[in-house]
Amino acid sequence: MRNLFFALCFILFACCAGFTQNPRQPLSGDLVIFHAGSLAMPMKEISAAFKKIHPEVNILMEMAGSVECARKVTDLNKPCDILAAADYKVIDNMLIPKYSDWNIKFGSNEMCIVFTEKSRYAGQINSKNWYEILLKKDVAYGRADPNADPCGYRSVMTMQLAEKFYRRPGLANLLTSKDQNYMRPKEVDLLAVLESQSVDYIFLYKSVAIQHNLKYLVLPPEVNLKDPKFTDLYNTAIVEINGKEPGQKVMMKGEPMVYGITMLKTAPNKLVAIAFLQFLLSKDQGIKILEKDGQPSMIPQQNPNFDKLPATLKPYATR
């Protein structure tokens, strides 16, 4: 009886620590994922690949700006298993420690200027004159809302960095004050206004441009928020956004783009969530799809909450 008791304790501990699945028991049930708009296409592909292995799992995905995704948890108390943000800081600042214990950094991106063949001055725009073209009276451009989406505040950071890089005092204010009626809640909403020719250009992630076969202008590394070599420079770009509570403000500081993903403490289906995260973070499975869709892997990255990670996810992070 004593041996049986210790055996049961061991099994229970193993399940809690690593959410170990019985290979003979298929995964099933609903899996709810809130994710950034820029992850729409790879998440769809990753979910389809995961369901081929686990057909009894019903994956329910909700796409929104990363900040809005977090607010669905913090303000609306909506059930959620996994949350993937275009900026890992959204998880750190809004979900940890109350709603989540940890956050895995898994991918990167960069800001660029996206357009079509029908965009005004499409044949003239380049990395030296893009801001001059966007400021032309006959040109309209769109960007995401900084209060709803990391792409929004990263767009403003890009403008601030451009002001420094091109040595054009006041440039950021000129750009942010123009075409505010074309601001949208999340970056993928901008695709519709671009494709309808309501605007000529949009600030967007390079991965989204690649996924939708759109033309894009690569910005200098001092401006595009991609290169860790320019972290100190990126840190000089600061944008104020709405915080968790009404009237609260949060200062977002520029840094190289890093996506983050977590499982909520109240996840209704933790067993499936852990299995899905393993699949997404594996080099030959989810990461392969992300890289095909223009998002380089950042696994493994140093994790301040490493000890709180489930055992099966620790290979995707470092102390």
- Around Cβ 228, how many Cβ atoms within 10 Å? 11
pLDDT of residue 226: 96
Cα–Cα separations (whole angstroms), residue 230 to 223, 234, 235, 257 = 9, 6, 9, 12
pLDDT of residue 18: 45
pLDDT of residue 37: 92
Cα–Cα separations (whole angstroms), residue 115 to 147, 281, 286 = 24, 31, 29
Q: Binning pLDDT at 50, 70 and 90, where does residue 203 land?
A: very high
**How many whole angstroms separate alpha carbon 227 and alpha carbon 106?**
16
pLDDT of residue 75: 92
pLDDT of residue 74: 95
**How many whole angstroms separate alpha carbon 38 and alpha carbon 126?**
24
Reply yes or no on whether the pLDDT at 6 is more than 70: no
SS percent in the chain: helix, strand, coil, step 5: 40, 20, 40
- Where are the chain's structural domains? 12-19+27-108+258-318, 111-253
Mean pLDDT of 199-210: 96
| 1.10.760.10, 1.10.10.10, 1.10.3720.10, 3.40.190.10: CATH of 111-253 | 3.40.190.10
Topology of domain 12-19+27-108+258-318, CATH: D-Maltodextrin-Binding Protein; domain 2 (3.40.190)
pLDDT of residue 24: 52
**How many whole angstroms separate alpha carbon 238 and alpha carbon 242?**
13
Q: What is the pLDDT of residues 238-264, one digit of tens each?
A: 999 987 777 788 899 999 999 999 999
- Whether residue 200 contacts residue 217, with contact meaning beta carbons closer than 8 Å, is answered with no
Reply yes or no on whether the pLDDT at 71 is more than 80: yes
Reply yes or no on whether the pLDDT at 10 is more than 90: no
pLDDT of residue 186: 84
Q: What is the pTM of this model?
A: 0.86
- Whether residue 209 contacts residue 114, with contact meaning beta carbons closer than 8 Å, is answered with yes
pLDDT of residue 52: 97
Reply yes or no on whether the pLDDT at 19 is more than 60: no
Q: What HEC string does 212-253 produce?
A: CCCEEEECCCCCCCCCHHHHHHHCCCEEEEECCCCCCEEEEE
Confirm whether 12-19+27-108+258-318 and 111-253 share one CATH topology: yes
